[in-house]
Amino acid sequence: MKIIARIRNDFPTKFGIPRQSGLVELESQIVMEPTYRNADAFRGLEEYSHIWLIWQFSQAVRENWSPTVRPPRLGGNQRMGVFATRSPFRPNPVGLSVVALKEVVLHGKDAPYLIVTGADLMDGTPIYDIKPYLPHIDSHPEARGGFAVQAAAHRLHVVFPEAWLSQVPAHLREPLTELLAQDPRPSYQHDPERVYGFPFAGMEIRFTVQAETLTVCSVTPEK
């Protein structure tokens, strides 16, 4: 397997990354490795609205594997079969995500590269392949979502004081608020006194959670 590209975005660490693709409309770039910077390889791709990314869980590579894992959305205290989850801890650390394709950039520094939204990858994640999403084949509205559907329904009420919201660039305010509403904490952590924090877009976002309300405590430049 050859790494053909890496993603560039505002998530320098795993904490805070959307739990699945398509949940938060934040922009990313798919930057090709020099060997694959060939405009011919992208011919016709602009006709598609979405693409599949096949990528590596680069922060979860292990020598051994377990047949069961603890899905975060089940509180981290219930085991499920690894093949019934999207856990990064797999026999092969491979991820699969659908993202919206906004632009195929053919000119300028690092071109050709792709601008996408809705990615759930950490900055620098290696990408193995890019494929077009085919709605007449890949979309199955009648499909059952198992335990993941019920778990994904949990959302928090976000209190984002204007003093801190004003520190966030205008185009990032709505997606950041949506990200916080989806509860970025590890599911096994529920300490109402704890102050959580994660880096995002050159800022450090700090917050607390009490019951079903998340309150932003501060937004400061990342150190």
Question: Tens digits of per-residue pLDDT, 101-125?
Answer: 999 999 999 999 999 999 999 999 9
Under the banding of pLDDT at 50, 70 and 90, the label for residue 45 is very high
Residue 126 shares a structural domain with residue 207? no
Residue 122 shares a structural domain with residue 174? no
Cα 170 vs. chain centroid, distance in angstroms? 20
Lowest mean pLDDT among 82-86, 87-91, 140-144, 146-150: 146-150
pLDDT of residue 62: 78
Question: Long-range contacts for 199-207 (Cβ within 8 Å, ≥24 apart)?
Answer: 199/12, 199/13, 199/16, 200/10, 200/11, 200/16, 200/176, 201/10, 201/169, 201/172, 202/10, 203/167, 203/168, 205/16, 205/176, 205/180, 207/180
* pLDDT surpasses 60 at 87: yes
Residue 201 lies in a domain: yes
Mean pLDDT of the chain: 91
Residue 15 lies in a domain: yes
Higher pLDDT pick, 46 / 69? 46
Higher pLDDT pick, 59 / 94? 94
Residue 179 shares a structural domain with residue 78? no
Under the banding of pLDDT at 50, 70 and 90, the label for residue 31 is very high
Provide mean pLDDT across the span 38-53: 97
Residue 121 shares a structural domain with residue 193? no
pLDDT of residue 180: 95
Cα separation of 84 and 117, whole Å?
26
Residue 20 lies in a domain: yes
Residue 32 lies in a domain: yes
What is the pairing mode between strands 157-159 and 213-221?
parallel
CATH of the domain at 64: 2.40.30.70
Give pLDDT tens digits for 139-186. Answer: 999 998 887 766 566 789 999 999 999 999 999 999 999 999 988 887
Q: Given 138, 170, 189, which residue is the final one in a domain?
A: 138
Residue 51 shares a structural domain with residue 161? no
Residue 176 shares a structural domain with residue 119? no
Residue 145 lies in a domain: no
CATH of the domain at 174: 3.30.2310.20
Provide mean pLDDT across the span 7-32: 91
Residue 143 lies in a domain: no
Residue 133 lies in a domain: yes
Total-model pTM: 0.86
pLDDT of residue 148: 74
Domain containing residue 198: 154-221
